């Protein structure tokens, strides 16, 4: 059929923090690398990260990677793999210092060391008291990281394919991954990227929720491609919610607002957090506040005509405090809620923020999928890192600043694994199957030929509403059950989307339809696994199973698209060198 084939040693899909860090490792080893990205690299979602990146440098007080490891295991509610967590925490200092050498403008102490500040859940001496572990570059950590890594890649001649969208994985009869099909947005041309190694760094799928802090681009493309290729995705029921996203827009309102005295109120004006957390009240931990808000809404005390949000009230504060100590908040509120917080409260709702699950990998960044009784069997030629991957270091709940660390450590590790694996391979890549591009072409042909279908935006909205209403921060048994039916119904509609404009050149309608194909796979996995897991652990909070159940559920869920099936993998409780961090109740 004459589909052009471009051949590389390695193809990286995604140019956010994880993709750029991986590509750098590959290009420095003199491999021929192609990096595909939907948007210009420095416009990847990593740019939005402000808080910082964790590393136990101990620059302002004593710290140790083992303490960081303890916090991460505890934060994960023991669902994280302890070998991967040890690996990440041990490597943290190295990758952060490397980044410093790449020119990352970290904030500094007076003596010139990297300045560190405290962040929720990071403690010293095995959970004793808060420790300063977050390294930041003002409130632009992600931005600075992307720029430093991008410049470095340019120096070593990494080849970027900007505004190219990967469509599907190519696998051979033995299951090895041989590359991807991709579409150039400018021309609509479809092409095969053949490679010995394919590395996914496509970021998260936060757009599956109606209320999301994620940019439009986070449609879980890597998850969709992986699922369609017959491989499992792991632990998707664990989605982290931030309590205060602006209702209807999703923009994150920092905890600092409540720190300065802002309070949450329900429809009758009641300061309801007094009932849920009599001591900490509005400053209780993220998950406690989010669940209280969800309960108020579920029990009919939400605000607005749909009773589907609560109010964050700052109007009792001195306007000077709002202007001086909470810069940017007033702009965000006026811009996205049409409310001036000096006079009226900000409508807020628990908002999807981070996907803990993803493509299962081991701590070397190699993708795994159970085969012949081996739960950790490697998928040849396939690697993943960053938010799209599940190493699993975050388990059931991620600690702030651990995600930028994750993408540095596992981006690099996955890159190193590719370099090592390629050395052992023959010079020329494996032959492509004859029908390598047929699946993608058939998907495109379906879309172009669809008649009497539905608009992409309509179906996307139905998907996001179903996830928000049925699989939100607090999960109720009846809602989950209906939710599975609903999302499967939405999936049927996704298969019949229609685009009016069929032109080849920069057809954003087509791109959005293809993104929706991916988002729906991630959404199905999330809903089905949430309905399957009969316990509460980390971000999965079930009304009918309020406790963690280690006897039955200390295991990873694996969702397969075929048959909408759920399987399981054991959690790696054994670290690399230290003793297992024993199961305990997670209390702070």
Partner 1 sequence: MSEIDRVRWHCRRGMLELDLVLSRFMDAVYGALAESDRVAFSKLLEYPDNDLWDLVSARAEPEDLDVFEILKQVRAVAPKRAAG
Ligand X SMILES: Cc1cc2nc3c(=O)[nH]c(=O)nc-3n(C[C@H](O)[C@H](O)[C@H](O)COP(=O)(O)OP(=O)(O)OC[C@H]3O[C@@H](n4cnc5c(N)ncnc54)[C@H](O)[C@@H]3O)c2cc1C
Q: Is 13 in the site for ligand X (CB under 6 A)?
A: yes
CB of 399 to partner 1, least distance (A): 22
Please choose, out of 50-58, 121-129, 255-263, 435-443, the segment that lies near ligand X by the rule CB under 6 A: 50-58
Q: Does 407 bind ligand X (CB under 6 A)?
A: yes
Closest approach, Cβ 13 to ligand X, in A, equals 5
Q: Where do we find the tokens 């290009």?
A: 27
SS3 call for 433: coil
Residue found under tokens 């007033």:
330
Angle at which helices 438-449 and 508-532 cross, to 10°: 110
Residue 286 falls in the annotated catalytic set = yes
Distance between first and last Cα of the chain: 61
- Radius of gyration of the CA atoms of the chain, in A: 23
Reduced to 3 states, what is the DSSP secondary structure of residue 546?
coil
Answer whether 351's CB lies under 8 Å from 262's CB. no
β 565-570/263-265 pair status? unpaired
Question: Binding ligand X by CB under 6 A: which of 10, 11, 12, 15?
Answer: 15
Q: Tell me the closest approach of the beta carbon of residue 401 to partner 1, in angstroms.
A: 18
50: nearest Cα among 401, 291, 513? 401
Given partner 1, ligand X, none, residue 387, with its beta carbon under 5 to 8 Å by kind, binds: ligand X
Residues 315-354, one symbol each (x = binds ligand X by CB under 6 A, - = not), give --------------------------------------xx
Q: Does 386 bind ligand X (CB under 6 A)?
A: yes
Residue with smaller CB distance to ligand X, 273 or 444? 444
State yes or no: residue 18 binds ligand X (CB under 6 A).
yes
DSSP-based helix, strand, coil % in the chain, nearest 5: 35, 20, 40
Residue among 327 and 433 whose Cβ is closer to partner 1:
327
For residue 223, the tally of other CB atoms under 10 A from its CB is 34
Active-site option among 152, 265, 286, 542: 286
With respect to ligand X, which residue has the nearer C-beta, 263 or 359?
359
Query: In terms of DSSP bridges, do strands 164-171 and 53-54 run parallel, antiparallel, or are they unpaired?
Result: unpaired
CB 404 within 8 A of CB 46: yes
Contacts to partner 1 by CB under 8 A: 38-39, 42-48, 140, 142-143, 147, 163, 185-186, 212-217, 246-251, 304-306, 308-309, 327-328, 331-332, 334-339, 347, 501, 503, 505-508, 511
What is the rounded distance in angstroms from the CA atom of residue 466 to the CA atom of residue 209?
8
Q: What is the token pair recorded at 493? A: 């509609």
x/- site string to ligand X, residues 189 to 218, per CB under 6 A? ------------xxxx--------xx--xx
Among 142, 179, 345, 365, binds ligand X (CB under 6 A): 142
* Among partner 1, ligand X, none, residue 18 binds (CB under 5-8 Å by kind): ligand X
- Alpha carbons 506 and 509: distance in angstroms, whole number: 9
Binding site for ligand X (CB under 6 A): 13-19, 36-39, 44-46, 48-53, 141-142, 165-166, 201-204, 213-214, 217-218, 221, 252, 353-354, 386-388, 400-404, 407
The residues annotated with a catalytic role in the active site are 286
């Amino acid at each position: 059929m004459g589909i052009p084939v471009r051949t590389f040693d390695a193809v990286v899909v995604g140019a956010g923090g994880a993709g750029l860090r991986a590509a750098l490792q590959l290009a420095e080893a003199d491999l021929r690398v192609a990096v595909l990205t939907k948007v210009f690299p420095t416009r990847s979602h990593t740019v939005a990260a402000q808080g910082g990146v964790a590393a136990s440098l101990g620059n302002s007080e004593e710290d140790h990677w083992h303490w960081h490891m303890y916090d991460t295991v505890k934060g994960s509610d023991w669902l994280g793999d302890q070998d991967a967590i040890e690996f990440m925490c041990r490597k943290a200092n190295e990758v952060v210092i490397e980044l410093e050498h790449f020119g990352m403008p970290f904030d500094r102490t007076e003596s010139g060391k990297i300045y560190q500040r405290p962040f929720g859940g990071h403690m010293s001496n095995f959970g004793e008291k808060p420790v300063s572990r977050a390294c930041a570059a003002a409130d632009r950590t992600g931005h600075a990281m992307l720029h430093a890594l991008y410049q470095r890649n340019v120096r070593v001649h990494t080849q970027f394919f900007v505004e190219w969208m990967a469509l599907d994985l190519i696998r051979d009869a033995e299951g090895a991954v041989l590359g991807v099909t991709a579409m150039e947005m400018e021309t609509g041309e479809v092409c095969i990227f053949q490679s010995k190694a394919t590395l996914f760094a496509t970021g998260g799928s936060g757009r599956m929720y109606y209320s999301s802090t994620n940019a439009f681009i986070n449609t879980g493309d890597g998850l969709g491609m992986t699922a369609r290729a017959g491989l499992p995705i792991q632990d998707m029921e664990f989605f982290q919610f931030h309590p205060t996203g602006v209702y209807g827009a999703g923009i994150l309102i920092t905890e600092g607002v409540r720190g300065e005295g802002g309070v949450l109120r329900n429809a009758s004006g009641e300061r309801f957090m007094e009932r849920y957390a009599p001591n900490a009240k509005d400053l209780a931990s993220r998950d406690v506040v989010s669940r209280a808000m969800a309960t108020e809404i579920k029990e009919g005390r939400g605000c607005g005509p749909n009773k589907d949000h609560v109010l964050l009230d700052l109007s009792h504060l001195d306007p000077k405090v709002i202007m001086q100590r909470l810069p940017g908040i007033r702009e965000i509120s006026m811009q996205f809620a049409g409310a001036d917080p000096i006079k009226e409260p900000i409508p807020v709702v628990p908002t999807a923020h981070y996907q803990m699950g993803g493509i299962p990998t081991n701590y070397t960044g190699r993708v795994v999928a159970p085969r012949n009784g081996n739960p950790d069997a490697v998928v040849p030629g396939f690697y993943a890192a960053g938010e799209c991957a599940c190493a699993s270091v975050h388990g059931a709940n991620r600690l702030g600043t651990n995600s930028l660390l994750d993408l540095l450590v596992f981006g690099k590790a996955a890159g190193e694994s590719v370099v090592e694996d390629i050395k052992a391979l023959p010079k020329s890549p494996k032959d492509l199957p004859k029908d390598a591009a047929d699946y993608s072409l058939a998907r495109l042909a379906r879309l172009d030929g669809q008649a009497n279908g539905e608009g992409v935006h309509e179906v996307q909205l139905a998907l996001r509403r179903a996830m928000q209403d049925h699989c939100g921060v607090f999960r109720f048994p009846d809602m989950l059950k209906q939710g599975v039916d609903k999302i499967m119904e939405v999936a049927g509609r996704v298969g019949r989307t229609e685009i009016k404009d069929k032109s080849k050149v920069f057809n954003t309608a087509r791109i959005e339809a293809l993104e929706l194909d991916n988002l729906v796979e991630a959404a199905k996995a999330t809903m089905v696994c949430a309905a399957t897991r009969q316990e509460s652990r980390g971000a999965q909070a079930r009304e009918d199973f309020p406790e963690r159940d280690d006897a039955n559920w200390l295991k990873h869920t694996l969702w397969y698209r075929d048959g909408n099936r759920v399987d399981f993998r054991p959690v790696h409780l054994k670290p690399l060198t230290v003793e297992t961090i024993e199961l305990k109740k997670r209390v702070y």
